[in-house]
Structure 1
Amino acid sequence: MNKATEGCKVKVHYTGTLEDGTVFDSSLEREPLAFTVGAGQLIAGFDQGVVGMVEGEEKTIVIPADMAYGEVREDLVFSVPKENMPEDYVPSVGDQLAVTSSDGQPFPVTIKEIDEETVTLDGNHALAGKDLTFAVKMIEVLSA
C-alpha cells in the first residue's frame, strides 16, 4: 500500500473545525482535494500532517496558528479615508475588497470598522491567529 510521501500526489476528504467545533470548511460535499505533498499548495501543517498516511486511513490533524494562516499581524490592519472608497460604494462591516499593495499586487481585505471619516481594513486571513483541526481521510495515494 502506498504511503503519502513528499512529492506524491494524493486525494483526501477533510473537515476543518475551529477550537469551539465550528466547521469552517469541508470537502465532503465536493470532489476530494487533490494536491502534491510538500509542494507548498496548502498550509504547512496540513501538508506535513498527511505524510505517512495510507489509502483509507483516517486521522485528526491539529494545526497551531503558526503552521496554518499565521498569527494576526497588526501591520495588516489599517484605516483609509472614506473618500478613498470606490464611487457609489457604501461600505459595510464584513465586506471583502481588493486593495493594491505598494508593489502593485492586489490583496484581499475585510472591512473591520467604519466611523465618520475612515474605514478600517484588515488584510489578515480570516483564520489568522486560530488553531485548526482537520479530520482527514486519505482517498488515494499516487506515487511521485
Structure 2
Amino acid sequence: MTEQVQSDSAVLLHFDLKLEDGTLAESTRRENKPALFRLGDTSLSAALEQQLLGLHTGDKKTFSLEADAAFGPVNPDLIQFFSARDFAASGGVPEVGTIMLFTGINGSEMPGLIREVAEESVTVDFNHPLAGRKVWFDIDVLAINPQLEDTNAYSAG
C-alpha cells in the first residue's frame, strides 16, 4: 500500500501560492527548492493540513483557502505607529513598502511593513503580508516522510 499523508507526516512538496488576481505570491518551483513541512507542529494552518491529509507521493492538488483559514484576518493591534525620530539612528525614515526587522520586547525579531510615512510618524504593519487575503495553492507531493539525506535529490532536479 502506498504511504499517504497523515496527521504527523513530514511532506516534501512544491507549491505555488497565488492571490485572487492570479499574482504569484510565493513559489518553491521558481528556485526549484521544495518545502518540507511537518503536519501537527502548528507551522501550517489546520485548514491547510486538512487539504494535505490522504494525499500520496506524486499527487497534485489545487485548492483555495479563505483568509481566516490561511494567514488569518488583519489584526489592527499589529499596526503600530512610531515617531519618525525613532528611525534616525537606523539611517532615516524608510520608504513606504519597505520591510524592516524590528526587535520585540522579548528580544525576538519580527518583520514589519512600512505602510505610511507622515511628517512626524511612521505606520508599521506587523501582520503577515497575506493576512486578510484569500489564497490559492497548487501543490505537488514529492515525498512523504523523506529521509533528510534524500531531500537534496529533490532540490537538484
TM over 0.5: same fold? yes
Q: Which amino acid aligns with 1:9?
A: A
Q: What SS is found at the alignment partner of 1:138?
A: strand
Task: Could you tell me which runs of 5 or more consecutive residues in structure 2 were left unpaired when the two chains were aligned.
Answer: 147-157
Count matched residues.
Answer: 143
Q: Which amino acid aligns with 1:78?
A: Q
Please name the residue that 1:17 is paired with: 18
Residue 121 of structure 1 deviates from its aligned partner by 0.9
Which of 97, 105, 108 is equivalent to 1:105?
A: 108
Q: What SS is found at the alignment partner of 2:119?
A: coil
Residue 52 of structure 1 deviates from its aligned partner by 0.5
Please name the residue that 1:116 is paired with: 119
RMSD of aligned residue pairs (Cα, Å): 1.7
Which of 50, 53, 64 is equivalent to 2:52?
A: 50
For the structure 1 residues 19 and 140, does the alpha-carbon distance in structure 2 shift closer, same or farther, using more than 3 Å as the test?
Answer: same
Whole-Å separation in 2 of the counterparts to 1:43 and 1:89: 37
Is 36-45 or 16-25 further displaced after alignment? 36-45
Whole-Å separation in 1 of the counterparts to 2:137 and 2:54: 16
Please name the residue that 2:75 is paired with: 73
Whole-Å separation in 2 of the counterparts to 1:55 and 1:106: 36
Q: What SS is found at the alignment partner of 1:40?
A: coil
Residue 97 of structure 1 deviates from its aligned partner by 1.7
Which of 128, 132, 153 is equivalent to 1:129?
A: 132
Whole-Å separation in 2 of the counterparts to 1:50 and 1:136: 9
TM-score normalized with structure 1 length? 0.89
Aligned ranges 1:32-47 → 2 under 5 Å: 32-47=34-49
Q: What SS is found at the alignment partner of 1:85?
A: helix
TM-score normalized with structure 2 length? 0.82
Whole-Å separation in 2 of the counterparts to 1:77 and 1:63: 24
Whole-Å separation in 1 of the counterparts to 2:33 and 2:78: 34
Please name the residue that 2:85 is paired with: 83
Q: Percent of aligned pairs with the same residue?
A: 31
- Greater share of helix residues, 1 or 2? 2
Residue 142 of structure 1 deviates from its aligned partner by 2.7
Q: What SS is found at the alignment partner of 2:49?
A: helix
Q: Confirm or deny: 8 A CA contact 1:46 1:61 kept in the other structure.
A: no
Task: Could you tell me which runs of 5 or more consecutive residues in structure 1 were left unpaired when the two chains were aligned.
Answer: none
Q: Confirm or deny: 8 A CA contact 1:40 1:47 kept in the other structure.
A: no
